Amino acid sequence: MSLRLTLALGLAVSLAAVPARAETTPEGPRAEVAVLRPASDDRVLVEASRRLQLELGANGLASALVDVGEGFPARVALVRVDGVVTIDVLAAPAAGAPLQRRVSVAPEEGGSDPAVIAVRAAELLRGIRLEVRRPPAPAPRRAQAADAVTATPSTAEERPTWRFEAGVGVLSARPLGAALALGPTVSAAGRIAPHVAFTAFFAGPFFTDRPPTPDGSAHTREELGGIGLRADAWRSRLDASIAGTVGLHHLSAVYDDRGVGTAPATAIHFYTPQSVWNPALTVAAGAGWRFSRRFGLAFQLLAIFIESPLALTTNGRTVGALGDPSLLSTLSAWTTL
């Protein structure tokens, strides 16, 4: 019994030593991918490297955890650049220059999850190996297609489908700056193309006291809403946008005797009814700052054109004009889905 026990223990020790030799020997006979050993004090990258080897094995690729990647057809390094996890992949074809890809994975995109990092690295290596093995004749056209396919996931992450905004706006009509009104604004946008979205918004109510005059003044209330198209462009955490909408503008006004003094109050007279809806066109430009993939702030300036600009008149004196154009400045918080 002691002899059998001794032989069994020796076999177990020999089998346990095999993975260690395959892991530490850079020139293992079956290893196709070198996984560079990360810093030992980075627990996330150490765990991600281990999971990456499991992902590669599930895809039929033998790998080795090494300190130097020389002599392997492909190598993967998981490092941190300015604190952000970065995946660096290099694959060398039999003839020609090697191909390299580098992708950063921010914490909000899974950069603190070893499983996400491992899957991203395996997908990146799979894409670059397809490029290395592609036949040379149709290479230009297929390379573009492969690049587009590889870039699609990150592009989709940068441009979510739905965007919702809520904030406050400052409405100013002629004379600009003389009568300002503060009110709420909301909007929604649904993407229909990489840089184009269908958008809808509503703003108001805005309450304004027109400047006093010897003939009196007016107190107004305005709302507007519309639907249209929005185009945007992203660069890192900044975005810029332009938009155009068509919709309706509503005005209601009541006479105000401010400025009349001791003279008896008279009725207010308008070129238009005291409560009126009019078609409106808005043209807007804006910029925003993204705090994370799903949250940010945006500033937008809208010019509001009413089909027939409204002149606000009291007892023969004009106290303002609407939609000639009016300006609406908004500051809002947004989120995406």
pLDDT tens for the 337 residues of the chain, in order: 444 444 344 433 333 333 333 344 444 446 788 888 888 788 888 998 888 888 888 887 888 888 877 778 888 888 888 888 888 888 776 556 677 888 888 888 888 888 888 888 888 888 776 654 544 555 555 544 444 444 444 444 445 689 999 999 998 876 666 678 899 999 999 989 888 999 999 999 999 887 787 777 777 888 999 999 999 887 778 889 999 999 998 888 877 777 776 555 555 544 444 778 889 999 999 999 988 878 999 999 999 998 776 667 766 677 677 667 888 999 999 998 8
How far CA 123 is from CA of 151, 164, 219, in Å, comes to 11, 32, 63
C-alpha 24 chain-centroid distance: 42
Fold of 17-156: Rossmann fold (3.40.50)
Phi–psi pair at 17, nearest 5 degrees:
-80, -20
**Pick from 276, 273, 176, 269: nearest CA to 222:** 276
Q: What is the pTM of this model?
A: 0.50
> Is it true that the peptide bond before 19 is cis, omega within 30 degrees of 0?
no
3-state secondary structure of 312: strand
The pLDDT score that the predictor gives to residue 170 is 93
Only one residue has tokens 């790998």, namely: 63
Domain ranges of the chain: 17-156, 162-336
Helix residue ranges per DSSP H, the chain: 2-24, 43-58, 114-133, 139-158
| Short-list 183, 250, 180, 201, CA closest to 222 | 250
Tally the residues of the chain. Answer: 337
162-336 sits in which CATH class?
mainly beta
Question: What radius of gyration do the chain's Cα atoms show?
Answer: 33
What is the token pair recorded at 16? 């346990």
CA 83 to centroid of chain Cα atoms: 21
Among candidate residues 167, 228, 232, 173, the one with its CA nearest the CA of residue 203: 167
Whose tokens are 């937008």? That residue is 300
CA distance 283 to 14: 75
**For residues 121 and 95, is the Cβ–Cβ distance under 8 A?**
no
